[in-house]
Amino acid sequence: MANTLSFSVPILLTALLCMTVTCFNEDQSVLLQFKAHITSNPLNVWPYNWSSATSVCHWTGISCGINGRVTALNLPNMNLYGTILPSLGKLSLLSVLNMSGNSFHGHLPSELANLQRLELMDLSHNELSGGIPPWFGNLTKLQYLSLYGNNFTGSISPYLFNMINLETMDFSHNFLQGSLPHEIGNLPKLKILRLRYNKLSNPIPAAIYNVSSLEVADFMFNNFSGSISRNIGNLTKLREIYVAQTDIGGEIPREIGNLSNLQIFDGRNASLTGHIPASIFDISSLRYILLGRNNLSGTLPIDICSNQSRLEALYLAQNQLNGEIPSGLGGCRKLQNLDFSINRFSGQIPRSIGNLTGLKELYLGDNELKGGIPWEVGNILNLEVLDIGEIGLTGPVPPVLFNISTLKTINLPNNSLSGSLPWDICLHLTSLERIDFYRNELTGSVPKSIGNCTFLQFIDLGKNHLSGEIPEEIGNLQHLSHLSMGGNNLTGSIPSKIFNMSTIELIALQLNKLSGHLPSSSEYKLPKLSVISLAQNRLSGKLPSCITNASTLKALEIGHNSFSGFLPSSFGNNLRLLEWLSLQFNNLSLEYSGPEHSFLSSLMNCRILRHLSIESTTYGGVLPASIGNLSASLQYFYAESSQLKGNIPMEIGNLSRLIALFLANNDLVGPIPSLGRLQRLEGLGLYGNKLQGSIPNDLCELKMPYDLSLHSNLLDGSLPACFDNLTSLRYLSLGSNKLSSNIPSTLWRLSNMLQVDLSSNFFSGPLPLDVGNLKVVISMDISRNRLSGNLPSTINGDLNGLTYLSFAENALQGHIPESFGQLTSLEFLDLSRNNISGVIPKSMEALSHLKYLNVSFNRLEGQIPTGGPFRNLSAELFEWNKALCGVPQLQVPPCKDSSHHGPKVSVLVLKCIFPAIAAILLVTLVIILVRRHKWKGNKQNRETPLPLATWRRISYHQLRVATDGFSESSLIGAGNFGSVYKGTLSDAVTVAVKVFNLHIDGAFRSFDSECEVMQSIRHRNLVKIISSCSNEDFKALILEFMPNGSLEKWLYSRTSTLNILQRLDIMIDVASALEHLHHGLQTPVIHCDLKPENVLLDGDMVAHVSDFGIAKLLGEAETMKQTMTMATIGYMAPGDPFLLKLKMNIGIFSYIFQHHFE
């Protein structure tokens, strides 16, 4: 037996040795095979190490057990590229597998499930893909598993959570989806769970709150939803929790205060709501509270820092927190980062903030704080960032602020801080990189010593009250990239050094008083220049090449200066990154040698150009068709007053991103092209051109029009009925065109319009009641058309924002509605030159804002109201009406009170007045008979014609110049068919120009009638015609000017009176004129409208009869015919008014009786 045993032991040892050697050789073979599949080995470690000539246990990254078997494979961060072979599953004694930081790709082979002894697997930072295999659940000894930073997809299998010894699971930075399985509660030893940067969703399973060993829970940057459970208080070992950038919402449970070991709570940019529980500030171990960008509300406890001896960062920005900033905040002595910006904190910045001596970054901007910056801020000697912008701070900037040598950023924009910058601003601020005082109340000059802040990268002092010159020393700042000083009172020239700074990216000096030229030398270079804004200064000269050749330029804004020179057709060739070009209001000439060889055509190389403004420059050519090439970028195009010519190219309709198109005040002709595809267009300004044709219907297809200005063109036809589709329209201006027919009722459905201008067209028909739908309208001008019917009563108090309303020069009739008195915001109302009758409503006295009211040239009567705005109105605003009366200053007759004087007045007339009238009539008749006798005695002399006023040819342009553009100041009268203007011709001759309103029915007939009557009649008591001017759209007579005006003025004025002899002379003059018309001509003429306003007085008070617009020429056969009475309604003598013979005598009798002895 002993011999047998002694024989068996060597055999067994030999067998074991053979097995070990065999397994050893197999491990070596597996690893060499693995090496052979590595396709990239940039560190080149294996050729010298991994070979069969060397023991596997001595290879780089290999560890072996006492039996010589491989137990660890560590190849981290070697940049190896290849796949993980299935044969690695044969390394059966492997406990550590670390191949992190390489570029292994492909799927994980299932053979790795054989590594039953594996305790650590780190495959992070590779390019592995596919799903995370469920066989990981077989590795029950695994304690550490990291697949961080790969391309794994799919969901997390529940089988993974059979790894009952797992302490760390890191699946961060992959593309995992779906839910986190509730089986995660089966990992009793789990300490660290990292899942950040995946696409996991749905609520976090409740089972996780049973893993009492959990220390780190990282869910950030996923799509997790739900809320944080109150059971989180069970995780008493939790040190870090991350729910940032998830959809987790709801309130933060107060049980979070049970987490006595919590150091980091990161809930930034989640959906958390409600108050921050006070219990969280009782956790003394906290180092970081990061809850910014949520919807948290409420106040913070005043003793917020009583237990926070370790707190380093408190980030609560972008919430709805309110109340005052706690004064106890000064107790957080280790605080380095404090961010309360973008909340609703009120009150003042607590002075205790100066106790935070370790603070490095302070952000309090965009709150509702008031007061100044506490001087105690100067105690924070480690401060690097001070950001308190957008809150309206007042008072001076504390000088101590500029003593903090560690400061890198001073960010105080949009406040009301005052004072000046210290002259030695950079004495202590040797590390300053950014200074921003944009939009404050700073005064004084920019200190020259700012050039000593050698690390400065960003300067923004815009929109203050700084004066003086820009210091040359700024050119010494070799790191400066942003220079903004716009909106100040800076003067002088721009330092030339600025245009030779290799680091500068933005120069914004607009809205100052800078002058002089820019440096023109080709030596100046701006290689990084992206934005330059010099608009609204006093700069002149040519643009330097360092700007026009800056290939990195994105925005060039130089409008409203005096730059001159020539911009060539190659301008846009080098500016391919240009997005914003603003050249307006300069003396620049833009090259035009042809549509496709011009300044504008060169800009087609700027394929991302969004804004183009050449307003008030000199272009002088047509728009190139190639402008349609900017369809993917151009949003704003302004070319008003740039001498554009020709048609608008149809390609402009391809600019689908266009928001504003303004080509006004040019010489554009032809039709408006199709613009219906410009679905983003908000503003269209084509006014002041010579565009013809109708308004295209496809404008109704625009989705977002806000302003449509087509006035002052030659557009005709009707207004498209589909305009009611333009529901976003606020401003509609179509005045001064040739539009006709009725205004479509659909227009008044645009209830949100603020301004409507349809003036100076040929619109006809009545105004519908629907005009009252414009509830928010501010201005409405429909003057100088052919509208008829009554004024709409729907223009009432519902239009409570209406300030401007004009219906002047139409044919409206009826009464002024009482509802006009409800237009409480009205400032301007013009109803002149219509046929409106009735009285002026007394309710209009309530229009307290009314500054202008014109009702002249109507048929109004009755008393002019005296209260409210009527106290300040002048007489000419009421003239030429039927029978208005009122106070003397309005130059109308006083109103008669007939309620108390009936019988007494009758007796007075019979006893006193009638005998006087009879005596005057008798004297008048005697004088007439005597003069008539003399006329008969001198018949030969009477029939000798008086010389005509010298006939001369006068053009419309001459008349327009003579009457100052037919201005209101030249207007001296008006009648049924037109207006009369005083004019002075080029040879200083003063004339009266009678312009016929061709919109009124009968105006053409009146002009023809007056010309026919006056062409051969000559008499000293008839107004002489000097010339006429007639075309299709304009008709006028040029008459002898009568400096003493009309007889009506003398009869009814309180300032001008006639004595009895003057009255008799005038009656004789008028009678002489009528006698000549009735009996002194071969063909008798009936005036038909003789009244005081048609009797004019020359400088010698000699009367002249005028206005033959409705006169009758009677042939022999018509002498006894009846004719219709056309005269102005007034007194007529007894007898048959339709007998022509009687009318000839009645004219004289009624005139004398009614107007001289009435």
E strands, 294-450, are: 295-298, 313-315, 320-324, 337-339, 344-347, 361-363, 368-369, 385-387, 394-396, 409-411, 416-418, 434-436
Instruction: Give the span between the Cα atoms of 908 and 14, in whole angstroms.
Output: 164
Angstrom distance (rounded) from CA 691 to CA 711: 10
Rounded to whole angstroms, how far apart are CA atoms 556 and 568? 16
Task: Please give the single-letter amino acid code of residue 324.
Answer: E
Q: Angle 893-898-899 (CA atoms, 0-180°, nearest 5)?
A: 145
- Under 8 Å between Cβ of 525 and 498: no
What is the rounded CA–CA span in Å between residue 409 and residue 432?
6
Secondary-structure percent of the chain, ordered helix, strand, coil, rounded to 5:
25, 25, 50
The three-state secondary structure class of 74 is strand
CB 284 within 8 A of CB 307: yes
The residue type found at 118 is L
Place of tokens 């005598």: 1145
Instruction: Please report which helix (H) or strand (E) contains residue 590, including its range.
Output: strand 587-590
54 is written with which tokens? 């060397």
Active-site residue (options: 830, 1089, 1107, 1136): 1089
Q: What's the angle, vertex CA 921, arms to CA 915 and CA 926, rounded to 5? A: 130
Two structure tokens written together for 749: 């459905």
Structure token digits, residue 210: 């049973």
Q: Which uninterrupted H or E stretch holds 98?
A: strand 96-98
SS3 1089: coil
The per-residue DSSP string of 344-358 comes to EEEE---GGGGG-TT
Residues 6 or more apart whose Cβ sits within 8 Å of residue 733 = 687, 708, 709, 710, 711, 755, 757
Q: How many CA atoms lie within 13 A of 772 on its CB side?
A: 15
Residue from 636, 592, 640 nearest 614 by CA:
640
Question: Phi and psi for 81 in degrees, rounded to 5?
Answer: -125, 125
Interatomic CA distance for residues 504 and 525, integer angstroms: 10
Residues making up the annotated binding site for ATP are 994
DSSP string, 1026-1075: EEEEE-SS-EEEEEE--TT-BHHHHHH-SS----HHHHHHHHHHHHHHHH
Alpha-carbon distances, residue 1154 vs 881, 996, 1106 (angstroms): 18, 29, 18
The structure tokens listed for 514 are 């800078």
- What are the φ/ψ torsions at residue 942 (nearest 5 degrees)? -65, -30
**Residue pair 585/560 in contact by the 8 Å Cβ criterion:** yes
d(CA 105, CA 83): 5
Helix (H) / strand (E) element for 860: namely strand 859-863
Residue 724: active-site member: no
Q: Which H or E run includes 691?
A: strand 690-693
For 960-978, give the DSSP string: HHHTTTT-GGGEEEE-SSE
For the annotated binding site, the residues are 994
- What Cα–Cα distance (Å) separates residue 176 from each residue in 155, 190, 198? 6, 20, 5
- Diameter of the chain by CA atoms? 191
In the three-class reduction of DSSP (H, G, I as helix; E, B as strand; rest coil), residue 651 is classed as: helix
Active site residues: 1089
